[in-house]
Amino acid sequence: MAAVVGVAGALAVAALATGCGSADGRTATGAADGQGGGAGGFPVTVTDCDGRRTTLSEAPRKIVTSNAASLEMLLRLGAGDRVVGTGFPPGKGALPPELDARAQRVPVLGKTVIPKEKLLGSGADVYIDTFASMGAMGGAAAGPTEEEFAAAGIKHVYLASTACAPRKKVPQQDLSAVEGDIRRLGQLTGTSRRAVQLVAEMEKKVSSVRTALADVPVAKRPSYFFFDFDAGTKQPVAVCNRQVANAVLTEAGARNVFADCASDFRPVSWEDVVAKDPDWIQLGVRNRGSAAATDKAFDEAAKFLREFPATAGLRAVREGKFLRIGSEQTTIAGVGNADTVRRIAATLYPDRLAGSGPGANH
């Protein structure tokens, strides 16, 4: 039995590509120096994973985003009116209502990866790249070289929490990289005050969970499997310890059953999942555009696990310990990650986080 993937499946493939280095050795990602001394905080300098430095002398007027992660951050920062195009656009209803209408008005330069010629001809001052390289999706998906970006007058900036994370020597176990990206984009767009506010709100939510679970030993925390239903059911795809979701799960007091995987995503086998026998399973479903359609997809994911011989006997399946929390707010970097931490924690530890809201629907 296979999930019907469509556009959602393309998004899953994009997520899988975030950890791939480029073929010519160019690598990922913007790590902010925070160096800005002029009016409005400019100039601002960012440094990629290889130490290359890029300086912006003023706030960009035209921005292109590679996917919904950086687009949502810019919308929340109040810089969405400067976004002149995006790739991998968010599906209708995928973002919170206050952002969704604005997101849908952003010109779509590519339903998946933005074609190279269209990106270079976009007139953008800055391209915010969520991916280290799209080479894993085929030659046609290869992006411009740094020389081509420079010739087009486009500053190439990366999201550290997604593009750089797979190369780091340590797992993502907290949301500091995501928060760093928000601060960085605040610096780049001259909206640092708003960025500080957003990060403070995230920290408040997550710190309350940390406090509630402070005395729960790691070994006693429930094991947890993120089931990416939209990536297909023939072979499961594991969320590994360099992915944003690992930070979300860890902060929520869960033990990612594939936390020993030093990558962002990796195909595994159903035998691997069965051997882990998780206490809880998150039904990773992407927004289908309406509550009814999304609920139906959650139902299909649960039905698959109950009927598939390899998973029917898992503890979480037998006990109906499923969490119906969307993929986007778990695996895509953004402000919503903090809300997902609270939702998961409230489900796993209802007595400790009373009033945090339901996260599961068995």
Averaged over 278-302, what is the pLDDT?
Answer: 95
What is this structure's pTM?
0.85
Q: Kindly compute the dihedral angle of the four CA atoms of residues 267, 268, 273, 278, in this order, to the nearest 10 degrees.
A: -50
pLDDT of residue 95: 87
> Is 169 within 8 Å of 241 (Cβ atoms)?
no
Minimum mean pLDDT range among 184-188, 220-224, 225-229, 352-356: 352-356
Helix, strand counts (H, E) of the chain: 14, 14
pLDDT of residue 356: 55
pLDDT band (50, 70, 90) for residue 47: confident
pLDDT of residue 92: 84
Look up tokens 């993937």; give the residue: 5
Averaged over 261-271, what is the pLDDT?
Answer: 94
- Check residues 42 and 213 and name the one with the higher pLDDT: 213
- Three-state DSSP at 362 gives coil
For the chain, the structural domain boundaries read 6-167+180-199, 206-348
pLDDT reading at 358 higher than 90: no
Between helix 244-251 and helix 336-348 the angle, nearest 10°, is 40
- Check residues 42 and 175 and name the one with the higher pLDDT: 175
Q: What one-letter code names the amino acid at 320?
A: G
pLDDT of residue 289: 85
What does the alpha-carbon distance between residue 15 and residue 239 come to, in Å, rounded to a whole number? 10
Average pLDDT, the chain: 85
pLDDT of residue 355: 60
Q: What is the CA radius of gyration of the chain?
A: 20
- Three-state DSSP at 127 gives strand
Beta strands 31-36 and 44-47, pairing class: antiparallel
Nearest to residue 209, comparing CAs of 249, 176, 172?
249
pLDDT tens figures, 202-258 = 999 999 999 999 999 999 999 999 999 999 999 999 999 999 999 999 999 999 999
Averaged over 29-49, what is the pLDDT?
Answer: 59
pLDDT tens figures, 141-160 = 468 998 999 999 999 998 88
CATH of 6-167+180-199 given 3.30.70.260, 3.10.129.10, 3.40.50.360, 3.40.50.1980 = 3.40.50.1980
> Is 127 within 8 Å of 156 (Cβ atoms)?
yes
- Specify the CATH class of 206-348 in words: alpha beta
123 is written with which tokens?
């007139």
pLDDT band (50, 70, 90) for residue 163: confident
